[in-house]
Structure 1
């Protein structure tokens, strides 16, 4: 026997029920979207009143017909970035963020935020970038960040954090970028950062950090950028740094380096940018640099270089940018610099050079940016500078070059922007 067919009334009932439920779902969704939009708009108004900077983005969901979109697009404007840097905001103001679901970048540097305010960040489901430098957030307050599994970029600045704070930071294993510093950070505390194996960028400072501390980073094999400043690391630590094969940018600032350890950096075959500023490196220490054959940018500012060691830079065929600010580089050293065929940017701020040295630069074929601020040059150097026909930017602030000399330069180099004192 065949199955009895359902009565027509039953079919109508089930069809009606289906459409009723579907309609209810749509109405509830529309109500929720509109309600969320209104709360978000109110939050944006209040954020702007606090002089915060907001950035929104329209995100069109799949399935909305073209003919309907113009009438509903305003409902899908999402607040994605909030900048409170250096604004007078407090913990209660962060309650506003509870009415936003799509903020992924939040900047709170130099604000009055405390541990109490950080608790509100746990309710931000898409937060990926966060700055908290120069706030009142303590080491204990950082525990509130451990549950934010979406966080990939955290900047705590060169703040007052110590080893206790690193305990919590080490639990945020989603991090790709981290900036942290503090007088109470020690070698022992750095062990907690060794768990952050996805890190690609690390900026670190702390006066108590020594060579032993850097040995804790052996597991951070994905680092592309490493900046270490204000520490007590010496040339001995460069042996450990030489093992980071993916490193492209390295900055060692305000450290008691002398130079011999630079030989270990020769293993960094992918290194393109090297900053060695406020160190004790002298001309002899530069003889190890030619091993960095892919280096494109080198900053040796505030070191003990006088110029003779610049001859070793001829072994850097890809060097495009060289900074020698506040060094003792003299005229003779510029002869070595002129041999860098791909050099396009040169900073000689506060170096004891004059016309005789600048004449040597005429053999630098690609030089397009030259900074001579705070040097003893005068109008006698104009003729030498006029020979640098590829110059696009020339900095001459706080020099003895007169307005007449500037006029002659601009006539000789019509495509060059010359910056002088007001």
Structure 2
């Protein structure tokens, strides 16, 4: 089965290689008409990604495609819609953020009997006239019209879509009267009312939707809710919450209160049915009382970022940590000592965020006691990379203490005080795929240390003092797909393009130039991989022959930024100076 999948992918890649290859197979109408829907959908997605799809090419897929996602494509207009209207088996159409779509362009959708889901989010030119076309889609079950030009009058017309199970009205002028007109939609299970004009009186009508499981009231004036017997997911972010969920028996699984204000903090979730609650987001609520946490027996995802939680409160999290998979404590008052309280109580924790906290390198010994961790965010903390701050010996490198985390895939050390030598232990992180660094303390040697991370897929090393020599000496892991070098101000455009010619499979980001991988668009925008400069060729050969000593000290760290900039314009290239140092 895997071999078959690989073969299909190879065929699709070949079919979407260039405009010329597309022109060759598009004439085979008979074969394309019989193309299985899942292959047609995959081929369409690839054509869209590579910007090879145009309106007339759509006709080739009208008998086979079932799902089309064109979101954000500003070329999509009435001509595209005219072709899409002929698709006989289309079930899903996403044209969100296609800003050339207006109400008249929706006329071809009328009568599309197979269409089940339509997404028009943020198509600002769609208004009430467009709703008249939409209500002619007889079997529509899911409709997204958030941030469009639809008014209260148009919203009331939606009452004729009896099969609707999901309705996204976010950012629209939905008032209590509009909500009352939609009570006939008895199959409605999911409704988005964020940013609407619904009040407590309108919210009281929500219990007339017997199947309602998902409700979003973000940025509304609603402070109270009736008991909703089927409710599983509730979003009341950025609201002022008075009394909700009192004596409620609804099977709540997900609650989002980010940025909300609780008028009675002591009763927060105290009376809610939390027997099934697995996801709770209280970010930026400013809560400082956490007695309710003891009720969360099956919690898996907990976000307490920017709450007033200190080390004394961490024990309440530890008591419910048995099933926790994701814990966000960023911006709290927790220290390394508080993290020690958690250690040993969160055996299943996979994601841990401690960004913008006061934790330091002693935290690593406690993090090492969380064996299931896959993603750790330590950005903007007091991490320096050494257990003994007065020593720079390899034995004191703090990252060595978490080498036992065999599943660690993501590590964020941006805006920390980590220096070059501290990165040396990362070479033994066998599963590390995403690494984020951002510090002016990092130089060429840091990139050399990262050459040995075997599965690195995305590397972000921003604001570092890197030169062309670092790129020439970097032994690129085979898995690397993206390299973010923004803020590396000593690199020139030619340095980056030279690196890309040597490694065409990698997407590189920098203020001077962004180069997409060769395999995605068939060519580089800026240069041909075959045109290598003699300097790059020589440096590549030298890279294979000359090992870089781990004890190497980058001499550029002796200089200020102004002095380094001055060195850039001297007759002797800075990279050559570094070569002489190494030799």
TM-score, reference length from structure 2: 0.55
Counterpart of 1:217 (choices 149, 159, 182) is 182
Greater helix fraction, Structure 1 or Structure 2: 1
TM-superposed CA distance for 1:398, in Å, is: 2.7
The residue number in structure 2 matching 1:114 is 77
Could you say if the C-alpha distance between residues 339 and 164 of structure 1 is closer, same or farther in structure 2, counting changes exceeding 3 Å?
Answer: same
Residues 191-239 of structure 1, C-alpha deviations (whole Å, 9 max, x = no match): 2211111111111123422111111211211112112222111111112
Equivalent position SS for 1:80 = helix
Q: Distance in 1 between matches of 2:367 and 2:12?
A: 52
Q: Is the 8 A contact 2:69 2:94 kept in 1?
A: yes
CA 1:123–1:45: 2 relative to 1, 3 Å:
farther
User: What residue is the counterpart of 1:364 in the other structure?
Assistant: 320
- Which one of 261, 276, 298 corresponds to residue 304 of structure 1? 261
- The question of 1:197 aligning with 2:162 is answered yes
Gap change, CA 1:146 and 1:128, over 3 Å in 2: same
Counterpart among 189, 192, 207 of residue 227 in structure 1: 192
Displacement of 1:419 in angstroms is: 0.8
Structure 2 Cα separation of the partners of residues 168 and 118 of structure 1: 13
Count of residue pairs the alignment pairs up: 348
| Map of 1:345 onto structure 2 | 301
1:74–1:96 distance in 2 versus 1, CA, 3 Å: closer
Aligned to 1:11: none
Q: Is the 8 A contact 1:200 1:223 kept in 2?
A: yes
2:200–2:222 CA contact under 8 A, matched in 1? yes
**CA 1:89–1:214 in 2, change beyond 3 Å: closer, same or farther?**
farther
Determine whether 1:408 maps to 2:331: no
Distance in 2, matches of 1:115 and 1:75, equals 27
- Runs of at least 5 residues in structure 1 that lack an aligned partner in the other structure: 1-41, 51-71
Q: 2:239 is matched with which residue?
A: 279
Q: How far apart are 1:162 and its partner, in Å?
A: 1.9
CA contact 1:211–1:234 (8 Å) conserved in 2: yes
> Structure 1 residue 46: deviation in Å?
7.2
Q: Note the C-alpha offset of 1:87.
A: 5.5
Pick the aligned partner of 1:131 from 91, 94, 118: 94
What are the Cα deviations for residues 146-192 of structure 1, in whole angstroms up to 9, with x where unaligned? Answer: 13211111001133122121111111121111111235322211122
Cα distance in 2, alignment partners of residues 327 and 120 from structure 1: 48
Is the Cα–Cα contact under 8 Å of residues 281 and 302 in structure 2 kept in the other structure?
A: yes
Helix, strand or coil: the match of 1:208?
coil
- Alpha-carbon deviations, 1:8-27, whole Å to 9, x = none? xxxxxxxxxxxxxxxxxxxx
RMSD: 2.8
Aligned to 1:329: 287
Corresponding residue SS for 1:242: helix
The answer to whether residue 108 in structure 2 is matched with residue 144 in structure 1 is yes
Structure 1 residue 412 displacement after superposition:
2.4
- Equivalent-residue separation in structure 1 for 2:111 and 2:33 (angstroms): 32
Q: Provide the rounded CA distance (Å) in 2 between the counterparts of 1:381 and 1:397.
A: 14
1:164 to 102, 106, 129: 129
Assess, with a 3 A threshold, how the Cα gap between structure 1 residues 296 and 76 changes in structure 2: closer, same or farther: closer
Q: Structure 1 residues 239, 155: CA separation in 2 closer, same or farther (over 3 Å shift)? A: same
> Does structure 2 conserve the Cα–Cα contact (< 8 Å) formed by 1:162 and 1:182?
no
Q: Give the distance between the partners of 1:138 and 1:48, measured in 2 at CA.
A: 32
How much has 1:48 moved relative to structure 2? 5.5
Match of 1:239 among 186, 204, 207: 204
Shift of 1:289: 3.9
Which ranges in structure 2 are unaligned for 5 or more consecutive residues? 1-10, 20-30, 380-412, 414-583
**Aligned partner (choices 314, 318, 335) of residue 276 of structure 2:** 318
* CA distance in 1 between partners of 2:93 and 2:214 (Å): 22
Alpha-carbon distance between aligned partners in 2 of 1:76 and 1:229, rounded to the nearest angstrom: 41
- TM-score scaled by length of structure 1: 0.75
Give the 3 Å change call, closer, same or farther, for CA 320–302 of structure 1 in structure 2. Answer: same
1:336 aligns to what SS in structure 2?
helix
Alpha-carbon contact 1:153-1:177 (below 8 Å) kept: yes
8 Å CA contact retained: 1:84, 1:109: no
What secondary structure sits across from 1:106 in the alignment? Answer: strand
